[in-house]
Amino acid sequence: MTASTSSAAGDSIAWVRISSCYLPLANPISDAKVLTGRQKPMTEIAMLFAEIETKDGHKGLGLSYSKRAGGPGQFAHAKEIAPALIGEDPSDISRLWTKLCWAGASVGRSGMSTQAIGAFDVALYDLKARRAGLSLSKLLGSQRDSVQCYNTSGGFLHTPIEQLVVNAGASIERGIGGIKLKVGQPDRALDIQRVETVRKHLGEQVPLMVDANQQWDRPTAQRMCRIFEEFNLVWIEEPLDAYDFEGHAALAATFDTPIATGEMLTSAAEHGELIRHRAADYLMPDAPRVGGITPFLKIAGQAEHAGLSLGPHFAMELHVHLAAVYATEPWVEHFDWLEPLFNERLEIKNGRMLVPTRPGLGLSLSEQARAWTREVAEVGTRP
């Protein structure tokens, strides 16, 4: 059976451009995976952009990304499947997600293949919202005009403790509502010292989280979660391997401090398993990483039904819209890394990120993003 619908407006996708852009980071970034020797410090982020234009001139911009390896693979897969969009009704986003998924089904329905689809899926949502003259959050049905946000980029493990305190203070001064610190390094005493120092500096009232980036084993996670109970943390993130659902569930059941995880999962199906195991109090889906907004909404629906809190991972420029739609108050992660890629900036006030009111995502690619672009592919004819 070939599923199709006819477009009421008679419009169709005429042109698609994908670009592979490498965003350099000012300082090499280290979390616990670097300190345990599993990864090298991160020096750049590979962005995959999709630009879509219809016969009638409606436009959409989407993005996906990878850290360390994966950028060339995402681009190659996107290039192979992009022709499947030409001539299609851009409104049929769910159907097109499925069509793109089947086009590459042999390489799986998670990971790199769905992340390539993610860029197109986000672009189609951006197009639909822009065409309606609505922000993405309004198109989806917004619950709030601003979302509480916390800073991550100032709390990495390559940052010395003196600077950690300065960064945390500067973030709060800037109006960011909470502070996340990376932990999970081999020397546990240093982790505790960093958290203790920042908690003392900020006082008891400032929301504080920690993130071990999957680098503890079960006994260590038990001990560290117990020690961290006294710091009144908003959550303890990725205490264990991302796929150890039973281990996360045991921690979530044992400790008062909420457990957060989910950023490494790459499909709605994987998130479904995590939710079924009750492995998280805060679920942290990442829309580009799970394949775009279509799977993200399926995950958010399940999470809401299960009574979980939401803290989407990375890409605040996209997640601010998606978080605004969630039923209970979520947290959005503030990372300024992607800012040079866009002409627009998010506004932050009184601990909260304001949801942009411009149509769509409210983003346009900067000249700088074009300059960092290494490879481009186009299909169809630009109207």
Which active-site residues does the annotation give?
182, 313
- Dihedral angle over CA of 223, 227, 231, 235, nearest 10: 0
Tokens of 143: 């619950």
- At residue 299, the 3 state secondary structure works out as helix
Q: From CA 104, how far away is CA 83, in angstroms rounded?
A: 12
**Could you tell me which stretch among 54-62, 133-141, 208-216, 341-349 binds Mg ion (CB under 5 A)?**
208-216
Q: Which helix (H) or strand (E) holds 98?
A: helix 93-103
Q: Does 211 bind Mg ion (CB under 5 A)?
A: yes
89 vs 238, beta carbon nearer Mg ion: 238
- Which residue(s) pair with 172 in the sheet? none
41 vs 72, beta carbon nearer Mg ion: 41
**Could you tell me which stretch among 97-105, 210-218, 302-310, 357-365 binds Mg ion (CB under 5 A)?**
210-218
Minimum CB distance to Mg ion, residue 306 (Å): 21
Minimum CB distance to Mg ion, residue 154 (Å): 14
On whether 79 is known to bind a ligand per the annotation, the reply is: no
On whether 31 is known to bind a ligand per the annotation, the reply is: yes
Residues 1-20 that bind Mg ion (CB under 5 A): none
Query: Phi-psi bin for 366: left (phi > 0), alpha (psi -120 to 50), beta?
Result: beta
148 vs 294, beta carbon nearer Mg ion: 148
Nearest to 134 by CA among 347, 361, 294, 315: 361
Minimum CB distance to Mg ion, residue 114 (Å): 20
260 vs 363, beta carbon nearer Mg ion: 260
- Which residue(s) pair with 136 in the sheet? none
Burial 270-295 (b: 16+ CB within 10 A, else e): bbbebbebbbbbbbbbbbbbbbbbbb
Minimum CB distance to Mg ion, residue 175 (Å): 22
Q: Does 317 bind Mg ion (CB under 5 A)?
A: no
- At residue 264, the 3 state secondary structure works out as coil
111 vs 262, beta carbon nearer Mg ion: 262
Residue 230 is given by DSSP the state G
Contacts of 230 (CB under 8 A, 6+ apart): none
Minimum CB distance to Mg ion, residue 1 (Å): 41
Q: Which residues carry a binding-site annotation for substrate?
A: 31-33, 67-68, 180, 213, 333
Residues that bind Mg ion (CB under 5 A): 211
Q: Which residues carry a binding-site annotation?
A: 31-33, 67-68, 180, 211, 213, 237, 263, 333
Q: Which residues carry a binding-site annotation for Mg(2+)?
A: 211, 237, 263
